[in-house]
Structures are given as C-alpha cells and as structure tokens.
C-alpha cells in the first residue's frame, strides 16, 4: 500500500489540440478573437438587459443569465487553452483539474435548465398571452433561475464526489484541451465503470428531462399557432422562438454525443472537436443569434449607441 501511494499521480499534462507548428499562431489568434467577442458580446447583452427597464421581464432575465453562463464556460476553458498553445509546460495539477471540471459542469448543467425555462416562458407567452403576466411573474422567473443554478451545483457536486474515488498511477497525459471528465476516466487506474454509470444516469436524465420540457412546450406553441391560421402570427412566433430553437439545437447535439453515447478510447480527436463546438463556438454565437432575431434587443442597443457614441 505504501509503495502504491508513492506512485499516485498528482499532476497531468493537457495535450490540447495537436497542431503543426505553422498553424499555432493563426489558430491562437482566431481563438483569442473568438474569446474576446464572446466576452464582449455576452457581457454587452447583460449590460443591455440591466440598463433598459423595458427588458426587465422574464424573457430577457433568462437571456441575461444565459449570457452569463456562456461567458463562464468560455472563461473556464479558453484562457488555459490559449496559454498551452505556446508553453512547453502544459502541466495542470489534480486540484486545478478538479476545480476546472467542477466549474464547467455547473455552467453546462445550468445552461440546460435555462434553455428549458426559456422554452416554458415562450409557451406561456404564446399559448396564454392574456394570463402571461400572471403565470410568468418576476418572482417565478427568479425561482426558476435559482433552481437552474442550484441544479447545476448539485449535479457538479455528485460527479466531483465520485471523481475522488479514482486514482491515477500510470499515465498522466490527458488527451484534451481542458479537464473533461471522460478524459480523466480513460487514464484512471481505478475501474471507472461506476463513474461512467453515474454520468450516463445523471447527465442523461438531465438532458432527457430538459429536452422533454422544450419539446412539449414547443409542441403546444405549434398547435396554438396552427389554430390561429394567421401568416402574421406564424411569422411573429417563429421570429420570437426561432433564435431559442436554433440555440437549443446547437447546444444539445454535441452534449448528447459527448455524455450519452457509449465511451470509446479511440475517439479523443473527435471528442475534442465536439467539445470545441460547445465551449468555444456556441458561447460566441448565442448573443449574435438572440440579438439579430430580437427587435427589442436591437432597439435597446441602437438607443444605447446613440446615447453614448
């Protein structure tokens, strides 16, 4: 036992994206620009929601929270990835790894619940427009926001707790650009079967539950629109819901692939490409998607620019 304890690994090497030397500088600049746009776009959206009293309604409170979570996801992953582009020392300690995964898990899980809450909000607004102010009050909105963040925290605590049962004694090479839980399972000396099972049960249940809320909400929305048989109503509905549906489609596809499909040690490169999509691409796209498709946001931005520029 004493000998085994001395061989336990406490530091890991993040291999990151395996690139030819000529691609390092161009891709570093691309990711740096993407991160800058992500932070500016999402924090700008939060600032608009906060400053404009017309946006102090549930729909935009959810949108501001989504922007905060997207900023968090990018900030947890991208800075470390950028540093590792040129540093020879790509070492990350076990404690840093745990903290990075824990923070990422909170944000990613919270986003799932936020997208479900936004779908319910659209259902209430379109299917019960007269009762909408009674159904979706600011108090209910705050409760849903709190529940989303608490659920994210609890989900992260479950996985973090089960990570402590693993030991690492052979390989310290993490074939990823951040500490993803599946990558840690692959280099564990302890049989990670129980951990895989926990990921499948909890992550799968959260995704199925939130996707079900979204599908049911938009099924009722679709029936409500079809009953009206008005081209104007259909256009208005798709204008209101189109951005959210696009965001949902972009977000859940990679997550389902990463955490619900059967694990395989041969798909590290494919996993990294999928991870890039929801840690780098989606956070920068969301403020663009919601801003361009939302008249109130664009009007608020226009007023802000006229006042200060």
Which of 229, 221, 223, 243 has its CA nearest to residue 123? 221
CB 162 within 8 A of CB 194: yes
- pTM reported for the whole predicted model: 0.89
Residue 233, pLDDT above cutoff 70: no
Band of pLDDT at residue 230, cut at 50, 70 and 90: low
Which strands make up the sheet holding 11-14, listed edge to edge?
A: 91-93, 11-14, 173-174
Q: What is the pLDDT of residues 133-146, one digit of tens each?
A: 999 998 999 999 99
Q: Which two tokens stand for residue 9?
A: 């690994």
Burial of 71-100, coded b for 16+ CB within 10 Å and e otherwise, reads bbbbbbbbebbbebbeeeebebebeebeeb
Residue 3, pLDDT above cutoff 50: no
> What is the predicted pLDDT for the residue at 155?
97
> What is the predicted pLDDT for the residue at 298?
78
Decide: helix, strand or coil at residue 29.
Answer: helix
Q: What is the pLDDT of residues 28-67, one digit of tens each?
A: 999 999 999 999 999 999 998 888 888 888 989 999 999 9
Residue 239, pLDDT above cutoff 80: no
CB 155 within 8 A of CB 105: yes
Residue 264, pLDDT above cutoff 80: no
Beta bridge partners of 91: 13
More confident of the two residues 285 and 273: 285
Band of pLDDT at residue 309, cut at 50, 70 and 90: low
Mean pLDDT estimate for the chain = 85
> What is the predicted pLDDT for the residue at 15?
86
Decide: helix, strand or coil at residue 300.
Answer: helix
Residue 167, pLDDT above cutoff 50: yes
| Beta-strand runs (E) in the chain | 11-14, 91-93, 173-174
Q: Which two tokens stand for residue 277?
A: 């999509």
Domains for the chain: give ranges and CATH numbers.
2-308 (1.20.1070.10)
> What is the predicted pLDDT for the residue at 140?
94
Decide: helix, strand or coil at residue 223.
Answer: helix
> What is the predicted pLDDT for the residue at 112?
94
Q: CA separation (Å) from 86 to 25, 27, 97, 172? A: 9, 11, 20, 20
Decide: helix, strand or coil at residue 14.
Answer: strand
More confident of the two residues 258 and 134: 134
Cβ-in-10-Å burial (0-12, 13-18, 19+) of 181 comes to buried
* CA–centroid distance for 19 within its chain: 26
Q: How many CA atoms lie within 13 A of 155 on its CB side?
A: 27
Decide: helix, strand or coil at residue 52.
Answer: coil
Block residue for tokens 């395989």: 264
Residue 195, pLDDT above cutoff 70: yes
Beta bridge partners of 14: 174
Question: DSSP letter at 175?
Answer: -
Average pLDDT, integer, range 152-181: 91
Band of pLDDT at residue 308, cut at 50, 70 and 90: low
Residues 50, 56, 59, 60: what is their CA dihedral angle, to the nearest 10 degrees? Answer: -10
Residue 294, pLDDT above cutoff 90: no
User: Taking the CB of residue 143, how many other CB atoms lie within 10 A of it?
Assistant: 12
Q: What is the pLDDT of residues 64-114, one digit of tens each?
A: 999 999 999 999 999 999 998 888 888 999 999 999 999 999 999 999 999
Residues in the chain: 309
Residue 6, pLDDT above cutoff 50: no
Q: What is the largest CA-CA distance in the chain?
A: 75
User: Taking the CB of residue 186, how many other CB atoms lie within 10 A of it?
Assistant: 18
Average pLDDT, integer, range 208-216: 93
Span of 23-27, 121-125, 221-225, 235-239 with lowest mean pLDDT: 235-239
């Amino acid at each position: 036992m004493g000998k085994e304890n001395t061989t336990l690994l406490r530091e890991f090497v993040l291999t990151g994206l395996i690139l030819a030397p000529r691609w390092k500088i161009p891709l570093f600049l691309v990711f740096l620009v993407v991160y800058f746009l992500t932070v500016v776009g999402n924090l700008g959206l939060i600032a608009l929601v906060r400053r404009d009293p017309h946006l102090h309604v549930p729909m935009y409170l959810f949108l501001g929270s989504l922007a905060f979570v997207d900023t968090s996801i990018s900030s947890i992953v991208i800075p470390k990835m950028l540093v590792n582009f040129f540093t020879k020392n790509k070492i990350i300690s076990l404690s840093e790894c745990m903290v990075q995964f824990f923070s990422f898990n909170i944000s990613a899980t919270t986003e799932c619940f936020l997208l479900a809450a936004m779908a319910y909000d659209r259902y209430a607004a379109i299917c019960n427009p007269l009762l909408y102010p009674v159904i979706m009050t600011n108090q209910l909105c705050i409760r849903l926001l709190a529940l989303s963040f608490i659920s994210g925290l609890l989900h992260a605590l479950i996985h973090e707790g089960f990570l402590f049962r693993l030991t690492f004694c052979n390989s310290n090479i993490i074939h990823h650009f951040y500490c993803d839980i599946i990558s840690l399972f692959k280099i564990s000396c302890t049989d990670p079967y129980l951990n895989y099972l926990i990921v499948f049960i909890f992550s799968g249940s959260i995704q199925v539950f939130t996707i079900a809320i979204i599908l049911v909400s938009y099924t009722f929305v679709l029936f409500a629109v079809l009953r009206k048989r008005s081209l104007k109503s259909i256009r208005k509905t798709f204008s209101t819901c189109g951005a959210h549906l696009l965001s949902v489609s972009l977000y859940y596809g990679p997550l389902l692939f990463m955490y619900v499909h059967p694990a395989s040690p041969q798909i590290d490169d494919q996993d990294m490409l999928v991870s890039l999509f929801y840690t780098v691409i989606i956070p920068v796209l969301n403020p663009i998607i919601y801003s361009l498709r939302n008249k109130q946001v664009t009007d608020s931005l226009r007023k802000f620019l006229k006042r200060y520029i």
